[in-house]
Structure formats: C-alpha cells, structure tokens
Chain A
C-alpha cells in the first residue's frame, strides 16, 4: 500500500499567518488523485481539496492545493480562527485507500 507521510506533525501559527502543510507519498499517486480534509474536534472530516488542486464546493479560496507524483502541499494563505484544526491527506492506489497521519494546526 502507498504510505502517506504528513509534515510537520504540529504547526503553531497565529491568525493571519500562512500555513504550509506537506504530504509525501511512498509511491507516485495515480493521476495525482490526492485529497485534503479538515477535521475539528467531535466532527466528521470535511473535504477541502480533491485532484491535488481542485477546491471542493463552498471552500474559501484561501485554501489551495498543489503538487504531483509523490509530493503535495496544502496552503492556507491567511489563517482564520476557524482554520485551526487537524488536516489529513488521502489517496487510493495499489488496491488500498490510505490517509496520512494528520497535521494539527494550532494557535500559537
């Protein structure tokens, strides 16, 4: 199975700052079909980005995704108070679907 490694584990930032989250795959992700989710405590994950760079419906344009092959990035251009959460990347390949272990974006 393809292993997704997210870094850093925790990102401590202030509102208004830029957040850059990384997701690295152990093998190339087919068609760059990589998705990003946001999860807040006690809530289900919410789709942010699919196909590495396409924003899901209703997602603000401060969220952007980029990358291909094995290296992907989620960028939040200016952090709003509601953006502090855990973020997961996800892909499907070699007969199994996997998630990264998550990056927590916390208030500094």
Chain B
C-alpha cells in the first residue's frame, strides 16, 4: 500500500519561501507522476503542479512563476517550494500520486497546514 507523508514548517513569514517535502513509502517513486494540491481553510482544492520521476514538471499557470517542484529518487521524495508567499498562500498542502492517463489522483498524503504570518 503506497503511503505519502508531507513534512515541513507549519509557519512561514510573508515574502519568504514555503518549503515542503513528500516522502513516499510502500512503493517506488519511479514510473509515476507526483503532485501538490492545496486547500485554503474552508475552501476548495487548487492544483499546484506535478513532476514525473525523471524531473519533468508542469504547474498551474496562476502559480508557475513562484513554484518549484523537484524530485529525489534516491530518497523516494519530492518537494515543493513557493517563493514570495503572502497570507493567500495559507492552506493545507497535500501531496498525491497522479495518473496522467486518466488524469486522477489515487493516493494522497494526510495534508499539512502551512500558515503565512509574521
């Protein structure tokens, strides 16, 4: 059973960089696409972007200029960086496995709340 776990700081100051890591267990990161999705408190889901295990990426055009997604196959991890954060970036951040043939997410992490505040 594939499991995903997000980790990283729960509090980030405005204008700084949000950094999160997703650790995949129970299966290899190789051969799949991996994604980040966020959900502001009380609101809906927003796709941030995805990465293939080879390192190729695709991101939401609305966030593309501030987002970097990377992968470390040796550690079975992938990561997210969002720079120049504001209060609008406060959200629960989820990592998930993405099937590009079918366009769906089958395994999700439990999510981690990141608050942007001074």
Where the two chains meet, the residues of A that have a C-beta atom closer than 8 Å to any C-beta of B are 1, 30, 33, 35, 37, 43-47, 50-51, 56, 88, 90-92, 95-102
Interface SS, B side: strand
Where the two chains meet, the residues of B that have a C-beta atom closer than 8 Å to any C-beta of A are 44-47, 50, 58, 60-61, 94, 96, 99, 102-106, 108-111
A95–B64 CA distance with the chains assembled, in angstroms:
12
B44, A33: Cβ atoms closer than 8 Å: no
With CB as the reference atom, state the residue of chain B lying closest to A91.
Answer: B103
What residues on A are CB-neighbors of B109 within 8 Å? 44
What residues on B are CB-neighbors of A100 within 8 Å? 44
With CB as the reference atom, state the residue of chain A lying closest to B101.
Answer: A33
A99, B104: Cβ atoms closer than 8 Å: no
Would you mind naming 29 contact pairs between A and B with Cβ atoms under 8 Å apart?
A1-B61, A33-B103, A35-B105, A44-B94, A44-B96, A44-B110, A44-B111, A45-B45, A45-B94, A47-B104, A47-B105, A47-B106, A50-B103, A50-B104, A50-B106, A88-B44, A88-B45, A90-B104, A90-B105, A92-B103, A96-B47, A96-B60, A96-B61, A97-B47, A97-B50, A97-B60, A98-B47, A99-B44, A99-B45
With CB as the reference atom, state the residue of chain B lying closest to A33.
Answer: B103
Q: Smallest CB–CB gap between A72 and chain B, Å?
A: 13
What residues on A are CB-neighbors of B103 within 8 Å? 30, 33, 35, 50, 90-92, 97
Q: Smallest CB–CB gap between A9 and chain B, Å?
A: 11
With CB as the reference atom, state the residue of chain A lying closest to B99.
Answer: A50
What residues on A are CB-neighbors of B44 within 8 Å? 88, 99-102
With CB as the reference atom, state the residue of chain A lying closest to B107.
Answer: A47
Q: Smallest CB–CB gap between B103 and chain A, Å?
A: 4
With CB as the reference atom, state the residue of chain A lying closest to B108.
Answer: A44
A102–B60 CA distance with the chains assembled, in angstroms:
19
What residues on A are CB-neighbors of B50 within 8 Å? 97
A30–B100 CA distance with the chains assembled, in angstroms:
12
What residues on A are CB-neighbors of B46 within 8 Å? 99
With CB as the reference atom, state the residue of chain B lying closest to A98.
Answer: B47
